[in-house]
Structure 1
Amino acid sequence: MDVVAVMEALAGQGVTVLVKVDAERMAERRKPWTFVASGAPLREDVLVRTDAVSMEQCLAACLPRLRELGFSIPG
């Protein structure tokens, strides 16, 4: 999956995407990756977010939810 294309597609639809990897959580063997999608197209009470052990797991958790909300995502 082309992660850059996914993020650009979401940004093009008005969604702000943050992906983070946390060194401290990684050292502690906790879920170091965070994916957060927010922004104007989402209602104020909707935030698509997950913490996971890998970027792939973040995408597997969040992209289906974003598709359910009506966003077009490549791949």
Structure 2
Amino acid sequence: MEKEHVSFKKIKDFFSLQTFEILYIDRIKCFAYFAVKFIIGLNKLDIKILNVSYLFNNSYFSGKVNNGNPEI
């Protein structure tokens, strides 16, 4: 009876370990995917922000310095 219990426990541990590994590998893959997507999105956002600030600096501040009124 004790041996049966041990073997059952081993089988249970084996399956729980497998499901644990599968779950965490999937979670890590999912996290990595979203992290990459987030970083790419952030880079695109930064580029947009830089473009907007570049246009803003060129039009508003250069106009203000040159003529005293913004040329937008």
Determine if the TM-score, normalized by the shorter chain, exceeds 0.5.
no
Higher helix share: 2
The structure whose Rg is larger is 2
TM range (shorter): under 0.3
TM-score, structure 2 length as denominator?
0.23
Structure of greater relative contact order (alpha carbons < 8 Å, 6+ residues apart): 1
Question: Structure 1 or 2: larger strand share?
Answer: 1
